[in-house]
């Protein structure tokens, strides 16, 4: 058993309410030491913002792709309505139509992470742009109507 860390590893003072352990889980140092460390680090790395942004530009799309693949695989890599499998056409949809709300609170990457953490809940599905667009207007997708009526594809334009 590891004993709980009650003292800062840097200044060796015990953590107190006024000077608690930093919220960074992997760091066992007090807030004061952490702030000092950050201050020094920023001094040593005056262009840290540019560095960070440059890194984010590369890393975030990589994560997005990676997590998108995981989520798409879990939901069958196809539109749950018409079976479209072209990845570029597919979007993640919250079945209660709350995807937009969720996305406003958490960005796309956040939504992906939430879905993975939640173990791919059935409230989500993949829809292609076409089916997504129709359902967003509050209509039943013509694909579904076609299936219900067992008459094959609906003819004519979808207004
Ligand atoms: Zn400390
Ligand atoms: Zn579709
Ligand atoms: Zn459809």
Largest CA distance in the chain: 76
Separation of alpha carbons 92 and 71, rounded Å: 9
Beta bridge partners of 124: 94
For the beta carbon of residue 17, count every other beta carbon within 10 angstroms.
Answer: 5
Q: Is the pTM of this model over 0.75?
A: no
Per-residue model confidence as pLDDT tens digits over 114-142: 999 999 999 999 999 999 998 888 888 99
Separation of alpha carbons 36 and 68, rounded Å: 38
Centre of ligand 3 to C-alpha 140, Å, is 8
Helix (H, G, I), strand (E, B) or coil at 119: coil
**For residue 112, what is the enclosing H or E element?**
helix 108-117
Separation of alpha carbons 7 and 16, rounded Å: 9
For 51, residues 6+ apart whose C-beta sits below 8 A from its C-beta are 45
Separation of alpha carbons 71 and 79, rounded Å: 13
* Ligand number nearest to the C-alpha of 20: 1
pLDDT of residue 158: 53
Centre of ligand 3 to C-alpha 120, Å, is 21
Centre of ligand 1 to C-alpha 53, Å, is 29
Centre of ligand 3 to C-alpha 134, Å, is 8
Tell me the angle at which helices 48-74 and 108-117 cross, rounded to the nearest 10 degrees.
Answer: 50
Per-residue model confidence as pLDDT tens digits over 69-113: 999 999 999 999 999 999 999 999 888 765 566 666 778 899 999
């Amino acid at each position: 058993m590891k004993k709980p860390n009650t003292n800062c590893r840097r200044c060796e003072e015990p953590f107190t309410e006024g000077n608690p352990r930093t919220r960074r889980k992997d760091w066992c140092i007090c807030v004061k030491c952490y702030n000092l460390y950050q201050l020094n680090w920023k001094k040593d790395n005056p262009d840290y913002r540019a560095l960070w942004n440059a890194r984010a530009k590369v890393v975030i799309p990589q994560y997005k792709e990676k997590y998108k693949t995981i989520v798409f695989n879990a939901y069958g890599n196809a539109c749950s309505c018409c079976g479209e499998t072209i990845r570029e056409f597919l979007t993640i949809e919250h079945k209660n139509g709350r995807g937009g709300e969720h996305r406003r609170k958490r960005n796309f990457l956040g939504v992906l992470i939430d879905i993975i953490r939640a173990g791919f809940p059935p409230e989500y599905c993949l829809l292609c742009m076409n089916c997504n667009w129709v359902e967003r207007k509050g209509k039943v997708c013509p694909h579904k109507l076609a299936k219900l009526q067992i008459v094959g594809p609906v003819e004519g334009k979808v207004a």
